[in-house]
C-alpha cells in the first residue's frame, strides 16, 4: 500500500469557525484527522488576577466579559459565591428575577449556538438569523431592566440592581407567546433535514464514561446520556420549586447535542411560565437593603458556588482574607474544560467535521482564555 | 456509594488509609475561620489534607468507594505568608448529585517542593486545569502528557499568579523572576 505523509496544519487563530481567537494545531492524513492540539491564550487578560485587585463589587462587571453571551448567568454565579462567603440573604423576588434572566439567557444562548453550528455546516444564515431574531427580542428585555444589551451587570449581593415592572412582565409574556412557534419552526426546518443528519449523526461521538472522565458539563455531558443538571443535582435559587425535565441524548454525537439544546429551550420555556406564575409581589423587595454593596467585606474563609450556565457548570471559587477584595478568585469556566474533550472527539473524522464538532461544544473564548 | 458530609472524609481516611494524610494537618477537623482577623490569610483545616504523592491513590479511593467520579475543578492558591501552595480538588458524585468533596494538597513554593503527581492519566479532564496551575503557579505535575504553558507564551519566565510576582512596571522591561 502506498504510504502517505502526515501533514500538520493550523485551523485558526483567525478562522470564522473557531468562534473567537482560537487555534487548533491538527495533524491530518489526507482528509482524516490524526491528532489535534488546542492552543489557547490569544484572549488572555488574567481575569483572575484582576479579581484579586478589584473589590467585590468592582468585579461584578468584569464577570460579564467571561461568557459574553450570558452575562446574566455569570453575574448570578458570582453574586451567589460572594453571598455564600459573606452570609448574605437574598429576597425571594430577587431569586425569581434571577431565574427568569437565567432561563432567558439559556434560550438566547442555545438559539444562537445552534445557529452558528448550522452556519458552520453550510446551512448558511437562515438558522442563525432565526436564532438572532429571538435573541434580539430577549436582549431588548435585558436592556430594559439593566441598561445594557450584553454587558448587563445586573446582579448585586443580596438581589438585583433594579426591579422588574409590569411593562416588563407584559412584554415578556408577549415575547413568550412567540417562542413555541420559533421552537417548532426551528425543529421543523432542520430535524429531518437529510444534510443535517448526514453531517451530525455519529460524528464527534463522546461515550458516557469518557464524558465523565473528561469533566465535561452542560449539554455536552447530557448529550452523552448523563442526566446531570446542577438545577436538579444541587438546586440553587428557587429551582427546586419548578417542574422540568433534564433532556439527555443516547449516542453522544453532534446530533444528540443539537437535540438536547432544542429540548432544553422548551424546558426553559416551562420554567419561565412557572416562574412568572409564582413571582412574589414587590413587598419583599428585590434586594437585601442591609448589604453595604460598595464596602462589602467577607469574613476570612472560602466559598465555591456554581450554577448551570447554558454551557455547563459555571463556578467561582473565592478565598477571602477578611478584606474588601478576594485573596484568590478562580473561575471554573465550562467551555474551557469542555474543550479538553475536543481532541478525542475529533480523532478519526475529517477536517470538515472538526468545525462542526467544535460548534457543537459551544465555546466562547472570553471564558476559555479568561 | 454514599454522599459524604463536609469533613467526613478526613476521619474515614484516618481509619482506612492512615498513611495518606499530611502529618502537618492531621489533627481533628477544625474550621478555624473565627480565629483570624482582617488581612490574614487562612488555611482552612476543614477538609482532608493529603500528602502530594498520595493524591492519585485518594482520588481513586473516593471514586471507587463513594462514587465521586466527577473531578470538576482544580484550583491552586498561593499562601505566601505560610510559604505554601495549596491545590484544591473538587469531586462530585455524578449519579447522586449533592455538594462537592474537597481534597487538599499543600506543598512548598520552591521548585524542588512544588510537585504533585498528575491526575490526567485517569481523569483527562484535569489536563487543561493542571496546565493552567503550572502556567500560573509553577506547580509541576509528573505524569502529565504535555505540561506546557497554556495562556502565557512559551518563552515567558515566572509565574504570574503567585503573590510575589511584580504587579507594577512595564511588561516589556521588568524582570519576571529570571
Reported as a single tens digit per residue, the pLDDT across A276-333 is 998 888 787 888 888 888 888 888 888 899 999 999 899 999 988 888 888 889 999 9
Q: What does the pLDDT read at residue B177?
A: 45
Across A240-247, average pLDDT:
90
Name which of A97, A91, A75 is nearest A278 in CA terms.
Answer: A97
Across B139-153, average pLDDT:
88
Residue contact A233–B97, C-beta within 8 A = yes
Q: What does the pLDDT read at residue A103?
A: 92
- Does position B7 have pLDDT exceeding 80, yes or no? no
Q: What angle do CA A209, A210, A216 make, to 5 degrees?
A: 105
Q: Name which of B30, B40, B64, B73 to mutate to probe chain A: the one with the most chain A Cβ atoms within 10 A of its Cβ.
A: B73
DSSP string, A43-86: T---HHHHHHHSBTTTTHHHHHTTSTT-HHHHHHHHHHHHHHHH
Query: Any bridge partners for residue B102, and if so which?
Result: B90
Query: Any bridge partners for residue A212, and if so which?
Result: none
Residue contact A215–B161, C-beta within 8 A = no
Residue A340 to chain B, least CA–CA distance (Å)? 6
Task: For residue range A79-98, list pLDDT tens digits in order.
Answer: 999 998 888 889 989 999 99
Strand order across the A7-11 sheet: A7-11, A23-29, A32-39
Residue A333 to chain B, least CA–CA distance (Å)? 9
Percent of chain A whose predicted confidence (pLDDT) is above 70: 99
Residue contact A213–B123, C-beta within 8 A = yes
Name which of A232, A161, A288 is nearest B94 in CA terms.
Answer: A232
Here the ipTM equals 0.85
Under a CB-based contact definition with an 8 Å cutoff, are residues A52 and A331 in contact?
no
Q: What does the pLDDT read at residue A280?
A: 85
Residue of chain B nearest A306, judged by CA positions:
B99
Name which of A154, A156, A147 is nearest A57 in CA terms.
Answer: A156
Distance CA A165, CA A145 (A): 9
Q: What does the pLDDT read at residue B44?
A: 67
Q: What does the pLDDT read at residue A301?
A: 82
Q: What does the pLDDT read at residue B17?
A: 78
Across B10-20, average pLDDT:
77
Which grid cell is A314? 459555571
Name which of A136, A73, A81 is nearest A106 in CA terms.
Answer: A73
Give the lowest-confidence range in A36-50, A86-100, A211-225, B11-25: B11-25
Q: What does the pLDDT read at residue B27?
A: 59
Mean pLDDT of chain A: 88
DSSP string, B13-74: HHHH-TTSB-GGG-S--B--GGG--TT-----BSSEEE-GGGHHHHHHHHHHHH---EEEEE
Residues near A65 by beta carbon (within 8 Å), at least 6 away in sequence: A47, A71, A151, A366
Under a CB-based contact definition with an 8 Å cutoff, are residues B152 and B127 in contact?
no
Distance CA B166, CA B176 (A): 7
Distance CA A36, CA A42 (A): 18
Distance CA A203, CA A210 (A): 15
Closest partner residue to A49 (CB to CB) among B96, B123, B161 is: B161
In chain B, what residues touch A232 (CB-CB under 8 Å)?
Answer: 97
Under a CB-based contact definition with an 8 Å cutoff, are residues A318 and A301 in contact?
no
pLDDT range class, residue A170, cuts 50, 70, 90: very high
In chain B, what residues touch A228 (CB-CB under 8 Å)?
Answer: 70, 94, 97
Distance CA A89, CA A95 (A): 10
Closest partner residue to A212 (CB to CB) among B69, B96, B129 is: B69
Distance CA A218, CA A312 (A): 3
Interface contacts (A, B; CB < 8 Å): 112
Give the lowest-confidence range in A236-245, A278-287, A340-349: A278-287
Residue contact B44–A322, C-beta within 8 A = no
Closest partner residue to B75 (CB to CB) among A317, A321, A337 is: A317
Name which of A59, A321, A297 is nearest B163 in CA terms.
Answer: A321
Q: What does the pLDDT read at residue A76?
A: 92
- Does position B151 have pLDDT exceeding 80, yes or no? yes
Q: What does the pLDDT read at residue B30?
A: 52
Q: What are A's interface residues with B at a Cβ cutoff of 8 A?
A: 37, 40-41, 44, 46, 48-49, 53, 212-217, 226, 228, 232-234, 297, 299-302, 304, 313, 315, 317, 319-323, 327-328, 330, 332, 336-337, 339-341, 344, 369-370
Q: pTM here? A: 0.89
Question: % helix / strand / coil in chain A, to the nearest 5?
Answer: 50, 15, 35
Give the lowest-confidence range in A23-27, A72-76, A352-356, B80-84: B80-84
Closest partner residue to A214 (CB to CB) among B44, B125, B151 is: B125
Closest partner residue to B94 (CB to CB) among A40, A226, A315 is: A226
Amino acid at each position: 500500500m502506498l504510504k502517505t505523509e502526515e501533514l500538520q496544519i493550523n485551523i485558526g487563530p483567525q478562522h470564522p469557525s473557531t468562534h473567537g481567537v482560537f487555534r487548533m494545531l491538527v495533524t491530518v492524513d489526507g482528509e482524516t484527522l490524526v491528532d489535534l492540539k488546542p492552543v489557547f491564550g490569544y484572549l488572555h487578560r488574567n481575569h483572575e488576577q484582576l479579581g484579586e485587585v478589584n473589590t467585590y463589587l468592582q468585579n461584578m462587571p468584569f464577570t460579564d466579559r467571561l461568557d459574553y453571551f450570558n452575562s446574566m448567568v455569570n453575574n448570578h454565579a458570582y453574586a451567589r459565591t460572594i453571598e455564600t462567603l459573606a452570609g448574605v440573604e437574598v429576597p425571594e423576588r430577587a431569586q425569581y428575577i434571577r431565574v427568569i434572566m437565567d432561563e432567558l439567557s439559556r434560550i438566547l444562548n442555545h438559539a444562537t449556538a445552534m445557529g452558528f453550528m448550522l452556519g458552520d455546516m453550510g446551512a448558511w444564515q437562515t438558522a442563525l438569523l432565526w436564532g438572532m431574531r429571538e435573541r434580539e427580542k430577549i436582549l431588548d428585555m435585558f436592556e430594559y431592566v439593566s441598561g445594557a444589551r450584553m454587558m448587563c451587570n445586573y446582579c448585586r449581593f443580596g438581589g438585583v440592581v433594579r426591579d422588574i415592572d409590569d411593562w416588563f412582565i407584559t412584554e415578556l409574556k408577549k415575547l413568550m407567546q412567540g417562542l413555541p412557534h420559533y421552537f417548532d419552526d426551528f425543529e421543523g426546518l432542520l430535524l429531518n433535514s437529510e444534510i443535517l443528519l448526514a453531517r451530525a449523526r455519529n460524528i464527534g461521538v463522546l461515550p458516557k464514561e469518557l464524558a465523565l472522565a473528561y469533566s465535561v458539563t452542560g449539554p455536552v455531558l447530557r448529550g452523552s446520556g448523563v442526566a446531570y443538571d446542577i438545577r436538579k443535582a444541587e438546586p440553587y435559587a428557587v429551582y427546586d420549586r419548578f417542574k422540568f425535565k433534564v433532556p439527555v441524548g443516547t449516542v453522544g454525537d453532534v446530533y444528540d447535542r443539537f437535540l438536547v439544546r432544542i429540548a432544553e429551550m422548551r424546558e426553559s420555556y416551562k420554567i419561565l411560565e412557572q416562574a412568572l406564575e409564582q413571582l412574589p409581589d414587590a413587598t419583599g423587595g428585590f434586594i437585601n437593603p442591609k448589604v453595604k454593596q460598595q464596602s462589602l467585606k467577607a469574613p476570612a474563609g472560602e466559598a465555591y458556588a456554581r450554577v448551570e450556565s447554558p454551557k455547563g457548570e459555571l463556578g467561582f471559587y473565592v478565598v477571602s482574607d477578611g478584606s474588601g477584595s478576594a485573596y484568590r478568585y478562580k473561575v471554573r469556566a465550562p467551555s474551557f474544560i469542555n474543550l479538553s474533550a475536543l481532541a478525542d472527539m475529533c480523532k478519526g473524522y475529517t477536517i470538515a467535521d472538526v468545525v462542526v464538532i467544535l460548534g457543537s461544544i459551544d465555546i466562547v473564548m472570553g471564558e476559555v482564555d479568561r | 456509594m454514599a454522599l459524604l458530609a463536609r469533613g467526613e472524609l478526613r476521619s474515614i481516611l484516618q481509619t482506612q488509609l492512615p498513611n495518606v494524610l499530611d502529618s502537618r494537618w492531621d489533627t481533628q477537623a477544625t474550621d478555624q475561620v473565627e480565629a483570624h482577623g482582617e488581612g490574614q490569610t487562612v488555611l482552612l483545616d476543614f477538609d482532608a489534607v493529603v500528602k502530594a504523592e498520595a493524591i492519585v491513590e485518594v482520588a481513586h479511593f473516593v471514586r471507587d468507594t463513594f462514587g465521586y467520579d466527577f473531578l470538576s475543578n482544580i484550583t491552586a492558591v498561593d499562601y505566601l505568608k505560610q510559604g505554601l501552595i495549596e491545590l484544591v480538588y473538587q469531586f462530585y458524585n455524578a449519579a447522586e448529585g449533592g455538594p462537592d468533596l474537597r481534597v487538599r494538597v499543600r506543598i512548598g513554593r520552591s521548585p524542588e517542593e512544588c510537585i504533585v503527581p498528575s491526575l490526567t492519566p485517569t481523569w483527562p479532564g484535569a489536563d487543561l486545569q493542571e496546565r493552567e496551575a503550572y502556567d500560573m503557579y509553577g506547580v509541576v505535575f509528573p505524569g502529565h502528557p504535555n505540561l506546557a504553558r497554556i495562556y502565557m507564551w512559551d518563552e515567558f519566565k515566572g509565574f504570574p499568579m503567585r503573590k510575589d510576582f511584580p504587579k507594577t512596571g512595564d511588561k516589556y522591561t521588568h524582570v519576571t523572576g529570571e
